[in-house]
Amino acid sequence: MGNLQSLIKDYLDYLEVERGRSKKTVENYSHYLKRFSDWAKTEKPSEIDIGLITEYRLYLNRVEDKKGQGLKKITQNYHIIALRNFLRYLAKRDIKSLSAEKIELAKQSPRQVDFLEGEELERLLAAPEGSGPRALRDKALLELLFSTGLRVSELCRLNRDSINLKKGEFSVRGKGEKIRVVFLSERAISAIGNYIGNRKDIDPALFVRFPKSKKMELAQAKLKNLRLTPRSVERIVKHYSIKAGISKKVTPHILRHSFATDLLTGGADIRSVQTLLGHSSITTTQIYTHITDKQLKEVYKAFHGKQRKK
């Protein structure tokens, strides 16, 4: 049967190989489950009971980092979700332990969704100026993020031959290896076309690094992989948000939120937005509804206070 640590390793291998989960997901689950096993100090899955889980939840609620900050409720829930899924894996292998269904998630406040207003968004998209390779790349990158709502990891994995500019659409492999279709706006098609048309390299990646100096160009020539990393994309977005004079923190994920918000305020139904975002659950998409319910606002304006005297 194996001890708890070896079973956790088996589970992580199962997530990667059989479930096809991303490297980042496996890393997160490894972190959450290691924290539990280090704290529980037990080798036997059969010793995991509701009392132990209650104590663990108290521990998660009270633990602090070096700065004296505790774990957010949503982060605590991520730990519990990982543990529940691990327990389901044990049950599938007929290994005696606590039933996952006996563990409930803690209630948490609705997530605060940050997004760019129309005028802020236009300033950001217009921030890359000039006809140099870096400006053309950054213009295409920002337009693509807003046009498709891609996750930054999805954007970084794109290759040039995966983009169909004539059709204005392409398929992307998202979380859980699920494939979905995303669409390009006319502005995104134009920006990507200009960028690709001016590329001199033969790297297959859609978005690549460009050297800032001749010395860096010589060093970079020795590299085989020029593909931008998620961290690089985050720095690019931050750079142009500062240049555009946007005071709030702007990340690639904020552009994803802006994409969803733009669709919903424009009248799109939430199921369609769920599909375009690649959410497996409608619950995830519903974080946007409390700030984008245009219909309720219109009903309010049309009917509220009509009986009052002027």
Per the residue annotation, which of 19, 175, 187, 227 is the catalytic one? 175
Per CATH, the number for 118-296 is: 1.10.443.10
Per the residue annotation, which of 151, 157, 209, 257 is the catalytic one? 151
Q: What would the mean pLDDT of 51-56 be, rounded to a whole number?
A: 94
Per the residue annotation, which of 32, 56, 89, 288 is the catalytic one? 288
- pLDDT for residue 211: 75
At residue 131, the 3 state secondary structure works out as: coil
Tokens of residue 58, six digits: 């108290």
Known catalytic membership, residue 222: no
Q: What would the mean pLDDT of 124-133 be, rounded to a whole number?
A: 94
Known catalytic membership, residue 253: yes
Domain residue extents for the chain: 4-102, 118-296
Known catalytic membership, residue 304: no
Q: What's domain 4-102's superfamily in CATH? A: Tyrosine recombinase, N-terminal domain (1.10.150.130)
Residue 298, CB-side half-sphere exposure with 13 Å CA sphere: 7
All residues at 6 or more sequence positions from 14 whose CB lies less than 8 Å from its CB, including other chains: 89
Known catalytic membership, residue 195: no
DSSP 211-260: -SSHHHHHHHTT-S--BPPHHHHHHHHHHHHHHTT--S---HHHHHHHHH
pLDDT one-digit tens code per residue, 172-230 = 988 877 899 999 999 999 999 999 999 988 899 999 998 775 555 545 555 567 899 99
Known catalytic membership, residue 257: no
Q: What would the mean pLDDT of 281-301 be, rounded to a whole number?
A: 73
Known catalytic membership, residue 151: yes
In the DSSP assignment, the letter for residue 62 is: H
State the pLDDT confidence band at 309, using cuts at 50, 70 and 90. low
Q: What percent of the chain has pLDDT over 90?
A: 61
- pLDDT for residue 256: 94
- pLDDT for residue 308: 66
Tokens of residue 179, six digits: 């494939």
